[in-house]
Amino acid sequence: MKERQNPYIILTVILFVCMLAFPAFHLVCHRNQATDSQRENRTLASFPSLNPARLDKFPAQFDYYFNDHFPFRDRFLDAYFLYAMFNRQSPTPSVVLGKEDFLFSGKEEKELFEGKLEFTEEQMAIVADELARRFDTLQKMGIRYYVFLAPTSYEIHPEYLPPYLRRAPETATDKFCKVMRERAPEVPLTYLKSTLLNHKGGTLLYRKNDNHWNMLAAQYSAEKILKTLSKDYPMLPATICQDFDLSPYVYDGGNLYSWISIRGNSPKYRADQEYGVLYTDTIGFISIEDTEQDFTPTEGFAYPDAYEKQFRTNRTDHPKILFIRDSYCNNIIPFVSPYFHESLFIFDAWQYGANYDIIRQVNPNIVVLMIYEPHIRNIYKTLEFSCK
């Protein structure tokens, strides 16, 4: 007579097998799920292709994919984020929790501020020589060339930093400006840090939950840009504050907020103040955006719709301008575009290339290179890549 099996043992075995099989079943069923993680500001690993000729790489690639897509991953991240925030710690090294609910980027901005950014003086010299070449090339084409550097929130609002963060005696930006003065003194270079500090007072110039400056800082920066250009183009205004009214409103979330939020439930850091831009009667002309795309976005650029922005006015006696820019220029656009006959803003995926093909097609009077300061070294990386 056979001994009857204990049903609890059978159930336990079944549950154990299901637990082992569930992750594999889940991965198969969700192979085509979205691969962008807004919280982590990166693209999650895609399912690796099975190539018989290169099977040695498959285990590591699959392990990377599994780590990004295992079941209930977001729930586990939620639990970890909640635990970290409860203990007043940042749940991700990408964000630094500052004083009075101010958030700072913990990425290359932090490295730059602490003097740890990998950007050698030899690389700086190569970038300076490249900018000098661009200046000479455009000068021969009858085009004026200017470079503006946008500072990080670390430089403008250090009073909100946690006590353990200290500025290096000399940052990579300080060294680069010195190298530019030595190797390319003919290139007009403006670091907008002093401009913002002069206007700061007790006013916030950067969003507390985002690593970008607000519209108020953008207005001050735009005025400095126009004032610099007006030395060569007297028809441009040296002051613009009278042409705009800034209306405050509550800004809902920012990129730093999204990196630490628990499915949108971090109200402490969610709301922030921003400013809407209204034209006054004194401006005379407003710029009209041309939505037609004339240029092909940089291959692989995550934001192709942001690659090109064009504006026109009836100011036919004013110059045409081309900005090679990044996202910091977004808030600059409404303050600058009304003062030019044509203005074109190219966001070339943080490469800050020469873009001679676009310049020849547009034939502007002015080319402005506007760079967020941690990205100055990207010019070197672009040159290095193009040489391979």
- Residue 161 to residues 67, 68, 98, 352: CA-CA distances in angstroms? 33, 32, 5, 30
| 261 Cβ neighbours under 8 A, 6+ residues apart | 39, 81, 253, 269, 270
Identify which of 123, 127, 144, 128 has the alpha carbon closest to the alpha carbon of residue 184: 128
Confidence of residue 39 (pLDDT cuts 50, 70, 90): low
For strand 95-97 and strand 189-191, is the pairing parallel, antiparallel, or unpaired?
unpaired
* pLDDT tens, residue by residue, 282-301: 777 778 888 777 899 998 88
Position 33 pLDDT exceeds 80: no
Condensed to tens digits (0 to 9), the pLDDT of residues 80-130 reads 666 566 556 777 788 999 999 899 999 999 999 999 999 999 999 999 999
**What Rg do the C-alpha atoms of the chain give, in angstroms?**
26
Q: How far is CA 387 from CA 98, 297, 347, in A?
A: 41, 21, 22
Phi and psi angles of residue 146, each rounded to the nearest 5 degrees, phi first: -135, 150
For residue 150, list its beta bridge partners.
372
CA 225-230-233 angle, 5° bins? 130
State the pLDDT at residue 286: 78
Q: What's the whole-model pTM score? A: 0.82
For residue 357, what pLDDT band results from cuts at 50, 70 and 90? Answer: very high
Q: At residue 18, does pLDDT exceed 50? A: yes
Query: What value does the mean pLDDT of the chain take?
Result: 85
46 conformational bin, left if phi > 0, alpha if psi -120 to 50, beta if neither: beta
pLDDT score, position 27 = 56
Task: With a cut of 90, say whether residue 328 has pLDDT above it.
Answer: yes
Spatial distance between the Cα atoms of 228 and 286, rounded to a whole number of angstroms: 21
Which tens digits make up the pLDDT trace of 134-172? Answer: 999 999 999 999 999 999 999 999 999 999 999 999 999
Question: Which residue type, as a one-letter code, is found at position 151?
Answer: P
Mean pLDDT of 2-13: 68
DSSP state of 206: B
Question: Which span out of 222-226, 281-285, 286-290, 310-314 was modeled with the highest average pLDDT?
Answer: 222-226
Question: With 80 as the cut, is the pLDDT of residue 281 above it?
Answer: no
Look at residue 269 and give its three-state secondary structure: helix
Residue 1's pLDDT band (boundaries 50, 70, 90)? very low
Asked whether residue 38 carries a pLDDT value surpassing 70, the answer given is no
Token duo for residue 240: 């613009």
> Can you name the residues that pair with 37 across neighbouring β-strands?
42
Range 270-276 average pLDDT: 83
Domain assignments of the chain as residue spans, ordered by start: 95-386
pLDDT digits 0-9 by tens, 231-262: 999 999 988 988 889 898 888 778 888 877 65
Q: Is 109 helix (H, G, I), strand (E, B) or coil?
A: helix
